[in-house]
Amino acid sequence: MTKEPVLSFTEKGIYCAAGDFHIDPWRPVARALITHGHADHARWGMGSYLATHAALPVMRHRLGAINAEGIEFGEVRQIGDARVSFHPAGHVPGSAQIRVEVDGEVWVASGDYKVIDDGLSEAFEPLKCHHFITESTFGLPVFRWADQKDVAAELNGWWARCAAQGKTAFLGAYALGKAQRLMTMLDADIGPILTHTAVENTNKVLRDQGLALPQTVLANAELNPKDHPGALVIAPPSALGSKWAKKFGAQESAFASGWMALRGVRRRRAGDRGFVISDHADWRGLLWAIRETGAENIYVTHGYTDVFTRYLNDAGWNAQVVPTQFEGENLDASTEEAEATP
């Protein structure tokens, strides 16, 4: 008799029969375990939610009144016949990998992750397991991230030049995670940091739970740009070039994304500048994380799935592509970015 896998991939999401729960489901289910608060992983309509205490405030902000329970990192919870625990993924504040053990067999659903410590999110924790579910958003050798300090120097140099020329610097970034990480990299001596409503709403949620962020000013409809010379504005990518942005007059715009490593993307989407920085693992990070698990069986969920899976199989792993509705990192507006306008 064939043994049922601890985790299976269904039309509703990743499912654990032993515990009767789903991980990051994309259709309504009775019980959902959520890795983090981005819209492609935490969706409305679940009967109940379980996520880290650090992830829940943003989830409630985005999803409204939900039946949700928090869990500490590393806390073991028995759910049916499954032993479940959440461990830092390093993606955004509160993000987790979910470890599931049944009869000694261990699976890890990593969600989205990065392996470098950005100084803001809880640092990635390698987990030993038999089966590892990984993303491959940047699963090509061309994607190799520079040191965060070097990127910060480039970013601040650009901002300082804009300020010296009497221009407002616009920086496009996700409202949750990327925007706050960029704030910690900015030199506030250059000028004021302004934020789009979607970004500032997220800032408030994170500050209320004790996350230390630099001082920012809400750039809503009432703000007069002339009162904030030399400013840098952090906004969702969809807001760059909008009617709201144009009221700031002379300006330059830039995107902060791992996709800026590709010259074609920079030409099409980066405005005046592109900064290569991502909250996902690069090629080296993906391979390091997989090696650290000790897992023989790898399931690749989104990104460069075919290429990355072929590489893993050639390198000795048992890897396969698993279709999901997870999106990874893109330069278009997502749900949390579109939820508010200035």
What ranges do the domains of the chain cover? Answer: 8-142+279-338, 148-275
Q: Whole-angstrom Cα distance, residue 120 to residue 284?
A: 21
How large is the average pLDDT for residues 278-294?
Answer: 98
Q: Whole-angstrom Cα distance, residue 257 to residue 275?
A: 6
Whether the Cβ atoms of residue 51 and residue 31 lie closer than 8 Å to each other: no
Whether the Cβ atoms of residue 36 and residue 92 lie closer than 8 Å to each other: yes
User: How would you list the strands of the sheet with 82-88, edge to edge?
Assistant: 77-79, 82-88, 96-102, 105-109, 131-136, 297-303, 318-321
Phi/psi at 308 (5° precision): -65, -40
Q: Euclidean distance between the first and final Cα of the chain, in Å?
A: 59
Helix (H, G, I), strand (E, B) or coil at 297: strand
Indicate the CATH number of 8-142+279-338 among 3.40.50.2000, 3.40.50.300, 3.60.15.10, 2.10.60.10.
3.60.15.10
Whether the Cβ atoms of residue 155 and residue 275 lie closer than 8 Å to each other: yes
CA-wise closest residue to 69 among 87, 89, 95, 51: 51
pLDDT for 238: 87
* Mean pLDDT score across all residues of the chain: 93
pTM value surpassing 0.85: yes
pLDDT for 332: 54
Indicate the CATH number of 148-275 among 3.40.50.1700, 3.40.50.10710, 3.40.50.170, 3.30.1240.10.
3.40.50.10710
Q: How confident is the model at residue 263 (pLDDT cuts 50, 70, 90)?
A: confident
Element (H, E) at 311: helix 305-314
The answer on pLDDT for 338 being more than 50 is no
What is the 3-class SS of 228-258, one letter each residue?
A: CCCCEEEECHHHCCCHHHHCCCCEEEEEECH
- Helix axis angle for 178-185 and 197-208, nearest 10°, is 80
Element (H, E) at 15: strand 14-16
With pLDDT > 70 as the criterion, what percentage of the chain qualifies? 93
- Which amino acid makes up residue 182? L
| Residue with more model confidence, 339 or 140 | 140
How large is the average pLDDT for residues 131-136?
Answer: 97
CA-wise closest residue to 151 among 265, 42, 279: 279
